[in-house]
Amino acid sequence: MKEKQAFEDDLKKLQKIVEELASGKLTLAESLKKYEEGVKLAQSCSFSLNESQRKVEVLMKKDSKLSLDKFAEEETEEEK
């Protein structure tokens, strides 16, 4: 549940940043700072979505049994 909450929080922050940048009211320096923060949040969200997708794939490959295997450390490191 904590993972989902972190994803949801990051997504909300990212949406707010997009709105702020689209408003055109920020200075160039503020815009660059917000853009950098947005890129980091987008990467975090993407990583979370990829992890969730792999978990679903593992569940589906288990002959209709609902079991979840741990992922190899190499797989998760490649996504970073």
Q: Angle at Cα 4 formed by Cα 40 and Cα 78, nearest 5°? A: 50
What's the pLDDT at 65? 65
Calculate Rg over the CA atoms of the chain.
Answer: 17
pLDDT in tens, the chain (80 residues): 566 689 999 999 999 999 999 999 999 999 999 999 999 999 999 999 999 888 888 877 766 666 556 655 544 444 44
Report the length, in residues, of the chain. 80
* Domains of the chain with CATH codes: 2-79 (1.10.287)
What's the pLDDT at 57? 80
What's the pLDDT at 41? 96
